[in-house]
Amino acid sequence: MNMSQQVNQKVTASHLKRQAYCYVRQSTLKQVFENTESTKRQYALRERAVALGWPVVQIVTVDSDLGETATSVADRKGFQKLMTEVSLGRVGLVMGLEVSRLARNNADWARLLEICAITDTLILDEEGVYNPTDFNDRLLLNMKGTFSEVELHVLRSRLRGGILSKARRGELKTRLPTGFVYDHNDKIIIDPDKQVQQSIRLFFDIFQRTGAAFATVKAFAKDDVKFPCRMHLGPDKGKLKWQRLTSARALVILKNPRYAGAYYYGRQRSRKNVDGSTTYFQVPRDQWLVLLKDIHPGYITWEQYEENLRRIRQNAIAYNVIDRKTPPREGSCLLQGLAVCGKCGQRMTIRYKYQRKNRLGPVYLCQRNRIERWESKLPIYTRCCY
């Protein structure tokens, strides 16, 4: 029995009554525009379905995932639609150029095979037609899925190795904070804009004098001095904007070793969540992958950078930011250190005010605008009720 006869035996009238889905995908938008031959080959699978007996009107092309990665189905609406139609028993044939066009995650691939086996749905790639209910075809499909995942792992390992090798030499280009730019030789230099230089040097001078990020923000706000910010995203990418300095921005600058002329890589890590989203978090310095001192010019020395971090830690302990809960104090207020603002989510402070008949009454205050930006806007008051 030749190959064409075997294929004809797999395709039955039950399959031909249902629709044939052609799944088209490219991993990146760059591939969509440059690797057009692969896209043409995927669309050409429709002719294979016609040759097997499917009418043209029953062939559905799903190409909404062009430019989407294959590592997860969380953001691939086209693949999700395909899975839904297969699970409802409306699909007789699923077409993909190769396994990696459908999924490179074994869990997603195994789920698709299981659903296709339950609903008696055939799978077609460039090499043939497979029936997931047949043991030999199922074994071959599982092996293809495994090889595809191994291929992705090898590609990632090679790319990761090249990136780490370049980072260890301090040559890997990363996003620079405001105050630094790359020259025509891809060397890091201080921003030639004199106003930017003066603003950043003024920032570190004030912090060295006051010893607190909040006091530094307060000094900028009192003199109505704006702070530079180089945009990295959106239509204004690369442009310089002058904004009001905030406490959060001040802490980011003080904790960034770039301003001390150091190169670092691997300070931030990521992990996948159950819902498919990604969480990013920072790790301690001893877990950074690369830290090279005195690689490029800086605004402060490494000793000053270490001293700034020591001051920040002392301030955090003094204000009890580490524990995120203040100890019980005198007064009748029951939610000291526990009440949060319903508008911004920050913890509220406590004040006591004399009310009627000289009775001392507790009041919760939200002072985010005042603390973050040193704005004179009145804080939000909430009367304590109990």
What are the backbone dihedrals phi and psi of residue 23, each rounded to the nearest 5 degrees, phi first?
A: -95, 120
Instruction: Please name which of 329, 341, 292, 285 lies closest in space to residue 309, comparing C-alpha atoms.
Output: 285
| Domain 180-318 is found in CATH 3.90.1750.20 | yes
| Burial of 374: CB neighbours in 10 Å, binned 0-12, 13-18, 19+ | buried
> Tokens for 244?
């009001």
Secondary structure tally for the chain: helices H, strands E? 14, 16
Q: Say if CB 228 and CB 241 are below 8 A apart.
A: yes
User: Residue 332's pLDDT is what?
Assistant: 64
In this structure, how many other beta carbons lie within 10 angstroms of the beta carbon of residue 211? 15
Identify the CATH assignment for 3-164 out of 3.40.50.300, 3.40.50.1390, 1.10.3210.10, 3.30.365.10.
3.40.50.1390
**What's the rounded Cα separation, in Å, for the pair 360 and 352?**
6
Q: Provide the residue type at 368 as one letter.
A: R
> Is 332 an active-site residue?
no
Q: Say if CB 76 and CB 23 are below 8 A apart.
A: no
Beta bridge partner(s), residue 382: 364
DSSP character string of 352-373 = EEE-GGG-EEEEEEE-HHHHHH
> Tokens for 157?
């390992």
3 state SS of 338: coil
In this structure, how many other beta carbons lie within 10 angstroms of the beta carbon of residue 188? 19
Q: Say if CB 255 and CB 309 are below 8 A apart.
A: yes
**What's the rounded Cα separation, in Å, for the pair 297 and 260?**
8
DSSP H/E element including 125: strand 122-125
**What's the rounded Cα separation, in Å, for the pair 180 and 190?**
5
pLDDT digits (tens, 9 = 90+) for 219-262: 898 888 899 998 888 788 888 899 899 888 999 999 999 999 99
Q: Say if CB 353 and CB 382 are below 8 A apart.
A: no
Which residue shows structure tokens 């001051």?
Answer: 311
Beta bridge partner(s), residue 347: 340
The low-confidence residues of the chain, meaning pLDDT below 70, are 1-8, 27-35, 65-75, 99-105, 276, 317-337, 345, 353-359, 367-386
For the chain, how far is it from start to end, CA to CA, in angstroms?
Answer: 86
Domain chopping of the chain, boundaries:
3-164, 180-318, 325-386
Which segments of 177-318 does DSSP mark as H helices, in order? 194-210, 213-222, 247-255, 302-318
Annotated catalytic residue, options 27, 72, 148, 247? 27
**What's the rounded Cα separation, in Å, for the pair 328 and 336?**
7
DSSP H/E element including 139: helix 135-168
User: Residue 257's pLDDT is what?
Assistant: 94
